[in-house]
Amino acid sequence: MDHSEKKVAVDLGSTVEMTQLLAYRLHKVANQISRSAAMRYRREFDLSLWEWRTIALLGGRGAMSLNELAKIAGLDKGQVSRVASGLTSRGMVLREVNEIDTRKISLSLTPTGQKIYKRLNRVSNQRNTEFTECLSLSERNSLNGLLEKLERKARELIAKEREAGN
């Protein structure tokens, strides 16, 4: 049996090798999905993965501040600023400085950015279908429920660590 095909039943509290840890396995799958996405978006749209995510977030949620975008994207403000600057120079993102507080920057899609967003959204949904079609409806529903449960637990653990750090 190939090592990657090894099925491991993990009892709570048992010790397993790193490659069988939940966080490692989720990270590995997420990286593989992201890598294939990055390759496709680069080939079809000449966009990096972070550029695509920025366009997708602005297109799906509308105008937002640089800070909001950084928080939602899970990146630091400097990274988001560099991505937004590149998209601004390519005519896809409009960057507006708040007249009252010049430290605040609002980002939104230009008409060109909106057209690209619509095309990207179609491709993203096609990719999502490609990934999920190997699962039955019951498996997709279970996966969604399990991911929601894991996200809640992750938020709990983050809050617990923050409290412990103070």
Q: Per-domain residue ranges for the chain?
A: 48-120
Picking from 124, 111, 105, the residue whose alpha carbon sits closest to that of residue 47 is: 124
Task: Please give the order of strands across the beta sheet that includes 93-97.
Answer: 64-65, 105-109, 93-97
Class for domain 48-120, per CATH? mainly alpha
Query: Helix or strand or coil: residue 108?
Result: strand
Q: What is the reported pLDDT for 10? A: 56
Q: Give the predicted TM-score (pTM) of the model.
A: 0.77
Tens digits of residue pLDDT in 63-88: 999 999 999 988 888 999 999 999 99
Tens digits of residue pLDDT in 120-137: 999 999 999 999 999 999
Question: Could you give the C-alpha distances from 64 to 43, 74, 96, 114, 152, in angstroms and in order?
Answer: 28, 15, 10, 15, 25
Q: Is the pLDDT of residue 2 over 50?
A: no
Query: Helix or strand or coil: residue 10?
Result: coil
Which residue has tokens 């279970």? 142
In the predicted model, what is the mean pLDDT of residues 5-24? 74
* Cβ(59)–Cβ(122) below 8 Å: no
CA dihedral 107, 110, 115, 118 (to 10 degrees): 20
